[in-house]
Amino acid sequence: MGLTLTEKILRAHLVDGEPVKGQEIGIRIDQTLTQDATGTMAYLEFEAMGVPRVRTERSVAYIDHNTLQNGFENADDHRFIGSVAKKHGIYFSRPGNGICHQVHLERFGIPGKTLIGSDSHTPTGGGIGMIAIGAGGLDVAVAMGGGAYYITYPKIVKVELTGKLSPWVSAKDVILEVLRRLSVKGGVGKVIEYVGEGVKTLSVPERATITNMGAELGATTSIFPSDEITKQFLEAQGRGEVWTEQKADDDAVYDEEVNIDLSALEPLAACPHSPDNVKTVAEIGKLKIDQVCIGSCTNSSLLDMMKVAHILKGKTVHPDVSLAIAPGSKQVLNMMADMGLLSIMIDAGARILESACGPCIGMGQSPNSGGISLRTFNRNFLGRSGTKDGQIYLVSPELAAISAVNGCLTDPREIGEMPAFTLPEKFKVNDNMVTPPASEAEAADVQILRGPNIKSYPDTAPLEMSITAPVSLKVGDNITTDHIMPAGAKILPLRSNIPAISQYCFTVCDESFPARAKALGKSIIVGGSNYGQGSSREHAALAPLYLGIKAVLVKSFARIHRANLINAGILPLTFVNEADYDSISEGDVLKLAKVRDKIAAGEQELVVVNTTTGKEIPVLCELTGRTKDIILAGGLLDYTRENLK
């Protein structure tokens, strides 16, 4: 029986456990990345472990999220991250160098290697044949210290691509079609592996668009083979020597199979407020729009910009529309300038933003009240844009550009003939905005620079013998990390200050929650299905930890958030019978008797007693030997500190 590409790479990096579906394994991590919104906390955690220098092959710290400096906080964080990187052996990508996933694909990613990043869209690296996984900052800190990264050995979904995309139909439409079929929770516990003749028709940037947005499936990661097209891309980056062929065996066996005929696809859009609320452009109709934003780690490559410039050439953005464009990296921006693409966009009336995440993370460019915004981004969660009632549609760059000109949602196939867009044989390579770390000999003299907004990791404590606590909040299905810990220009600067940022925890759902939870001292949150979907931000666990949350009881969890709760020492519980969700109300007092002894004994079936109603509710606490020990210790930081020395 042959192996899938996913299985080959995982087995080559296996350091703990057995490659059995559904069982926990530990894998060796070759590379890590962080971004500034999650990086400060990750590096505080790394420092707390006492490891003098990273033990990975390559670790990179990127500044790309909190680039709007309307106070000292973001600038202080950037300075702190830069000094930590210099001291501890980490490469530092300075503000302006670009979005972490775009730059890593260009300059650092290597086929067949493992990468984890403190950003949920790290699977972008799967576009060149990496096992690239989004993770919480503490998991990344552990990997930098030489520790293994633990995941559940995944099911592997084969997505067979046949045919070739029609003119003006794009890679964005491919992943929207996958989301339409599988939903935002259809990839949980799975890796999406793309195979078939259709793969050969897709460039690396197109593949990266697909793997990037695979995060919205809830998948562990997504991956394409590394082939001649990958080789050409890496050679164009001056990195041809790192290329190796990576592919599945011909007789590989998959757990599920999805077949997509690329030639049958048509332009699609994800409608408010979920990436899987996908409709054809024809179904939506000529929707009048207010704003268009092109960029993000999903669609900011040079190839995307070439297509946008072609559409905008000689035209003017509709007077009722604001068009903003953010190239994904300094390399992309430089080449746009050299190729004349930038002047075309400026002539058309586009607003050119810096090479950063920008509007995707709510950092500027919020639409008008109730405004309809077409975005080439990966998420359209309610309020994520910074406008609570903003109506956000996720579309391809081609669709976005022609719609910006026409003032309404427009099928790009109306443009006419599409030229052959080809990537240059050589990219313009200039790594002057990447600062290498100090040598080991010089590191001792490097001073860590801390600003007053940088606070320490929240206090943790070993799991209590029994937990009796009120329900401080009850929420529904598909609660995202944006619900739990919002982003945006107002809140992101507080990522280094858990006491301050906790005051915004769950305020999207209930503005009174932070004060209520803090006043209660300790409490429990109850939720529905797919709780914690979205970004990898561990702040969605650290803020509840600071507010006294002891357990979260839900119908089901998203993968990264469940791991972050465990890392924070918060008990993750799921209903045995989902109907029991209806038997709990906010304010009810729940009791878990002798929970420490039961978890220590390896029991996974527990009973929660609703002392308010008297009802006994069976729940699952599915912890393996390692995660059990983490919970008992009070979190991953305490569990790990001694083991890495």
Return mean pLDDT, the chain. Answer: 95
pLDDT of residue 66: 87
pLDDT digits (tens, 9 = 90+) for 317-338: 999 999 999 999 999 999 999 9
Name which residue leads in pLDDT, 404 or 643.
404
Element (H, E) at 5: helix 5-12
Q: Which SS3 state, helix, strand or coil, does residue 40 take?
A: helix
Residues 6+ apart with CB under 8 A from 580: 615, 617, 618
pLDDT of residue 537: 87
Q: Which SS3 state, helix, strand or coil, does residue 361 take?
A: helix
- Residue 219: what residue type? A
Confidence bin at 49 (pLDDT 50/70/90): confident
pLDDT digits (tens, 9 = 90+) for 379-403: 999 889 999 999 999 999 999 999 9
CA atoms within 13 A on the CB side of 456: 6
Q: What angle do CA 626, 632, 637 make, to 5 degrees?
A: 70
DSSP output for 282-293: HHH-S-B-SEEE
pLDDT of residue 459: 84
Which domains occur in the chain, in start order?
269-415 (3.30.499.10), 467-641 (3.20.19.10)
pLDDT digits (tens, 9 = 90+) for 325-379: 999 999 999 999 999 999 999 999 999 999 999 999 988 999 999 999 999 999 9
pLDDT of residue 1: 82
pLDDT digits (tens, 9 = 90+) for 285-309: 999 999 999 999 999 999 999 999 9
pLDDT of residue 474: 98
pLDDT of residue 456 exceeding 90, the answer is no
Confidence bin at 639 (pLDDT 50/70/90): confident
Residues 6+ apart with CB under 8 A from 101: 117, 119, 121, 122, 124, 125, 208, 212, 297
pLDDT of residue 625 exceeding 90, the answer is no
pLDDT of residue 33 exceeding 70, the answer is yes
State in Å, rounded, how far the first CA of the chain is from the last one: 40
Write down the pTM of the prediction: 0.93
pLDDT of residue 495: 87
Residues 6+ apart with CB under 8 A from 347: 312
Would you say the C-alpha torsion 473, 475, 481, 487 has a positive or negative sign?
Answer: negative
Average confidence (pLDDT) over 247-254 = 98
pLDDT of residue 641 exceeding 80, the answer is no
Confidence bin at 595 (pLDDT 50/70/90): very high
Confidence bin at 642 (pLDDT 50/70/90): low
19-23, 87-91, 471-475: lowest mean pLDDT where? 19-23
pLDDT of residue 645: 52
Residue 86 burial by Cβ neighbours in a 10 Å radius (0-12, 13-18, 19+): buried
Task: With CA atoms as reference, report the closest residue to 137 among 571, 572, 563.
Answer: 563
Average confidence (pLDDT) over 493-498 = 90
Residues 6+ apart with CB under 8 A from 362: 384, 385, 386, 486, 487, 488, 489, 492
pLDDT of residue 534 exceeding 90, the answer is no
pLDDT digits (tens, 9 = 90+) for 501-513: 999 999 999 999 9
pLDDT digits (tens, 9 = 90+) for 569-589: 999 999 999 999 999 999 999
Task: With CA atoms as reference, report the closest residue to 481 among 581, 582, 563.
Answer: 563
Average confidence (pLDDT) over 81-109 = 98
pLDDT above 70 covers what percent of the chain? 99
pLDDT of residue 480 exceeding 60, the answer is yes
Please list the residues that pair with 553 across neighbouring strands: 526, 573
Average confidence (pLDDT) over 232-242 = 98
